[in-house]
């Protein structure tokens, strides 16, 4: 691999040699908006039901009106209802909505539950049964979406900071980088590269665009990936991928010619000099696809059966989702055995879904 020799003086780089992916501009606000919407719409209800769970009172004369549950994407369930009740000589009328992840099929049974300490706080017993499910679901989605949005903001700010630093002259250090992806559209070559080859590698990825006629300076190949030559600009966080004519570096014509001489000699003497070429798409045989499909299916079956066994023999509560739903979907002999195990531990309580009789209360 030929080496790049640059003048030993501070050198500045051209504008826009580091680019911000277009997806950052539209996906970041959408992801953050989803995270905020999810938190604002669900967190108050979760906090309310947590307060109620500290001292709950089930009202037998409470009225649950217009109750409706909607399942989306097979597992995301959203239930809402109007709760009308009287307590302590006062009448209350409120609406509640709960969201949770569940594999349930069929109708839900629920009661009206209030807080003995704050009777104005009311919810459905379904919301309390699924309270930890809701807490975990809200936390996971809020952290994932919020983390993605904040991460994209951080990366964008780092790119903008680097772009400002590159305009000031600094010492340049050549480093090899791996070309991880590239795309040619409308005369623009978009390249993603990763700083994971040099001895002082950072593992960071960067994105750049080259105009029509510009090509990256490719110096080798490793594991099917092209190796490009980049430079570190002082202490900036991201290396800058060079073009094959060094137009991105503020050099004189003589300095460019001298710096590119080793690469020109390599191209003349080596007809197989590395270039940036489109990768052929790899195909997977039907047999491999079937193996993968049935392997994943087997893992799912083993996981579901294992979870069901834990639910009927070890779970600290009979009202655990999705344990109730899995037990209800089991073949009759397995369902009966599972209900027997649950009844041994929770027979004094009302029966859970999957083991309930026609009166929706006693064990079948």
Q: In the predicted model, is pLDDT for residue 19 greater than 80?
A: yes
**179-226 tens-digit pLDDT:** 988 888 888 888 999 999 888 888 888 999 988 788 898 888 888 788
User: What count of other Cβ atoms lies within 10 Å of the Cβ of residue 90?
Assistant: 9
Residue 305 C-beta-side C-alpha neighbours within 13 Å:
8
Q: In the predicted model, is pLDDT for residue 269 greater than 60?
A: no
| pLDDT attached to residue 1 | 60
Report d(CA 30, CA 127) in Å as an integer. 29
Q: In the predicted model, is pLDDT for residue 120 greater than 50?
A: yes
What integer is the mean pLDDT of 249-273?
75
| pLDDT attached to residue 280 | 44
Question: Which of 90-94, 126-130, 180-184, 269-273 has the weakest average pLDDT?
Answer: 269-273
**194-203 tens-digit pLDDT:** 999 888 888 8
Instruction: Determine the 3-state secondary structure of 59 from DSSP.
Output: strand
**270-301 tens-digit pLDDT:** 555 555 655 544 555 566 777 788 788 888 88
The DSSP result for 81-129, as a single string, is EEEEEEETTEEEEEEEEEEEE----S-----EEEESS-TT-EEEHHHHH
Long-range CB pairs of 87-92 (<8 Å, 24+ gap) are: 87/57, 87/59, 87/114, 87/119, 88/119, 90/119, 92/119, 92/120, 92/122
């Amino acid at each position: 691999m030929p080496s790049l020799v640059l003048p030993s003086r501070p050198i500045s780089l051209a504008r826009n040699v580091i680019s911000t992916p277009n997806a950052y501009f539209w996906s970041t606000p959408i992801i953050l908006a989803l995270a905020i919407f999810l938190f604002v719409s669900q967190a108050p209800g979760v906090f309310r039901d947590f307060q109620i769970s500290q001292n709950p009172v089930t009202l037998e004369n409470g009225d649950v009106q217009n109750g409706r549950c909607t399942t989306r994407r097979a597992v995301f369930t959203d239930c809402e209802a109007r709760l009308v009740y009287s307590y302590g000589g006062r009448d209350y009328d409120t609406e509640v909505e709960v969201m949770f992840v569940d594999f349930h099929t069929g109708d839900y049974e629920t009661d009206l539950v209030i807080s003995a300490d704050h009777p104005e706080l009311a919810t459905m017993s379904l919301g309390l049964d699924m309270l930890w499910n809701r807490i975990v679901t809200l936390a996971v989605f809020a952290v994932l979406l919020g983390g993605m949005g904040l991460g994209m903001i951080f990366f964008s700010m780092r790119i903008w900071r680097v772009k400002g630093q590159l305009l000031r002259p600094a010492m340049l250090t050549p480093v090899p980088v791996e070309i991880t992806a590239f795309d040619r559209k409308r005369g623009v070559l978009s390249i993603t590269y990763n700083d994971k080859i040099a001895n002082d590698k950072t593992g960071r990825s960067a994105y750049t665009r080259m105009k029509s006629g510009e090509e990256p300076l490719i110096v080798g190949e490793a594991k099917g990936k092209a190796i490009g030559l980049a430079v570190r600009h002082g202490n900036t966080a991201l290396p800058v991928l060079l073009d094959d004519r060094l137009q991105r570096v503020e050099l004189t014509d003589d300095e460019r010619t001298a710096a590119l001489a080793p690469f020109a000699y390599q191209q003349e003497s080596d007809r197989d000099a590395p270039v940036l070429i489109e990768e052929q798409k790899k195909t997977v045989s039907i047999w491999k696809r079937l193996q993968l499909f049935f392997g994943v299916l087997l893992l799912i079956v083993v996981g579901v059966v294992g979870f069901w066994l834990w639910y009927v023999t070890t779970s600290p509560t009979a009202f655990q989702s999705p344990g109730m739903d899995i037990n209800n979907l089991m073949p009759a002999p397995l369902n009966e055995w599972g209900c027997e195990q649950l009844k041994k531990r929770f027979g004094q309580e009302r029966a859970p879904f999957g083991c309930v009789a026609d009166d929706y209360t006693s064990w079948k």
